[in-house]
Amino acid sequence: MDSLLIKGGVPLHGDVTISGAKNAVLPIMAATLLTAEKCVIRRVPDLSDVKFMGKILASLGAEVKAEGDTVTVQAAKIKGVGDYDLIRKMRGSICILGPLLARLHKAKVSLPGGCVIGTRPIDLHLKGLRALGVGIKVESGYILATAKKLTGADLFLGGRAGPTVLGTANIIMAAVLAEGVTLIESAACEPEVMDLCNFLTAMGAKITGVGSPTITITGVKELHGAEHEVIPDRIEAATYAIAAAATNGEVTLHGARAEHMNAVLDKLRESGVKVERQGAALKVRRGGRLKPVDITTLPYAGFPTDVQAQMMALMILTPGISIITERIFESRFTHAAELMRLGADISIEGPSAIVKGGKPLSGAPVMASDLRASAALVIAGLCAKGATQVNRIYHLDRGYEKMDDKLKALGARIERVEET
């Protein structure tokens, strides 16, 4: 397994272009299963999760072609039975369930596994599909779903931690070809769900309330092919903004959409970081002394759980006490123990991490446990004295396009060490 070797202490300077959003492109690729016609998706990031989704679509019978950052999918003839091992491995693959049911009225897909950030149930996905008339059994690790037809319904999709992002995506994709009107209350408002809805609308779907907690879908008989450009990745943009502030540098993020990042930008400004909008770019630099801030992760438009770990990396550098509370995933603090190897002072109290920042960091070998935890370790490594080796970076390759190259272009001393 590859690792990253980072020699810390260099402020990041320069320009970085933000790639397409991983969490938008995965459901959008799944949505191509809704039509037999050709779909063209642009600004597709080069990520292992995207390649994986391409393999899943191909295993269902779709023709998938990638050229540069454009992916073309034609699902002329597909089957409803997914490859057990392929689907089981990536949580995001659950969003093929809705499109398969809409198109074929049947699907057999493996249950997605849990992961280090929590148990990640799919009860809300199944509840929503059942409301549309789908019969569902879970047997021998498979979800077996069938329906004579899908019928629109009123449903509430809120769960213990609020709305579900992929659950909302799944139900919308099932409802676009259902008979009648579906009304989803407590729908996820994330920009990635909006992007999916924009793609579905381009395919001929009828959806209103996009970006609000109440979404209405009026089913249509069929959808057609469409072209779409994926939104820039707000989580990637936030990660580079935090890295710029953490290293005391100055970085311009090209393509970053400030309107999708207000909760993060607000906290960065509160902690003393200067963020300026410059046309279609954001310029970020540390304005002076960093100040500690308290953070609670929430569904959009609150502070994203996917930026919690990176923000912790900034707070360990910030003199004073910050309290970071995780409200979306119960076990999403695995990065804390690894950050402590570098010298951070963090204690976990239930859903909160208490960070006593400002302690000197020194490089060490650390282990990446999930995608965003890996990003936090990279940021901390960029600030630590000496060398930090971040192991198991396949997590990073799942969700950050060429992170080592982008950081190198900003002046970081970072090398990928390939396992021989």
Strand partners, 15: 252
Q: Which is nearer to ligand EPU, 103 or 335 (CB)?
A: 335
Q: How far is the CB of 329 from ligand EPU (least distance, A)?
A: 5
For position 374 contacting ligand EPU by CB under 6 A, the verdict is: no
Applying the rule CB under 6 A, the residues between 395 and 414 that interact with ligand EPU are: 399
Kindly tell me which of 116 and 354 has the beta carbon lying closer to ligand EPU: 116
Binds ligand EPU (CB under 6 A): choice among 40, 72, 121, 257? 121
**Beta bridge pairs of residue 65:** 72
Please tell me the distance from the alpha carbon of residue 383 to that of residue 243, in angstroms, as a whole number.
Answer: 9
Please, is 212 exposed, middle or buried when counting C-beta atoms within 10 Å of its C-beta (0-12, 13-18, 19+)?
exposed
351 touches ligand EPU by CB under 6 A? no
Residue 184 makes contact with ligand EPU by CB under 6 A: no
Segment 309-328, which members bind ligand EPU (CB under 6 A)? 328
CB 123, min distance to ligand EPU, A: 5
Give, in order, the Cα–Cα distances in Å from 355 to each of 120, 307, 325, 336.
26, 16, 11, 9
Name residues whose C-beta falls within 8 Å of residue 249's C-beta, 6 or more positions apart in sequence.
Answer: 11, 12, 13, 243, 285, 286, 410, 411
3-state secondary structure of 395: helix
Q: Which helix (H) or strand (E) holds 171?
A: helix 165-175
**358 touches ligand EPU (CB under 6 A):** no
**Is 304 in a helix, a strand, or coil?**
coil
Does 161 interact with ligand EPU (rule: CB under 6 A)? Answer: yes
Binder of ligand EPU out of 159, 209, 358, 411 (CB under 6 A): 159
Tokens for 220, please give them.
């249509």
Whether 115 is a known active-site residue: answer yes
Helix spans in 305-368 (H) = 308-315, 334-341
Annotated catalytic residue, options 39, 95, 115, 197: 115
Give the binding range for ligand EPU (CB under 6 A) out of 33-41, 113-121, 143-151, 223-231.
113-121
> Do the beta carbons of residue 283 and residue 237 sit within 8 Å?
no
Q: Which of 372, 384, 393, 414 binds ligand EPU (CB under 6 A)?
A: 372
- Report the residue from 92, 98, 133, 357 that binds ligand EPU according to the rule CB under 6 A: 92
Containing 379, the helix (H) or strand (E) segment is: helix 371-383
371 lies in the binding site for ligand EPU (CB under 6 A): yes
Tracing tokens 């408002």 back to the chain, one arrives at: 189
Q: Does residue number 118 form part of the binding site for ligand EPU (CB under 6 A)?
A: yes
Q: Which is nearer to ligand EPU, 251 or 328 (CB)?
A: 328
CA-CA distances (angstroms) from residue 132 to 100, 129, 147, 180, 257? 14, 5, 9, 10, 35
Please identify every residue annotated as catalytic.
115
Chain residues that interact with ligand EPU, rule: CB under 6 A: 23, 26, 91-92, 118, 120-125, 159-161, 164-167, 305-306, 328-329, 371-372, 399
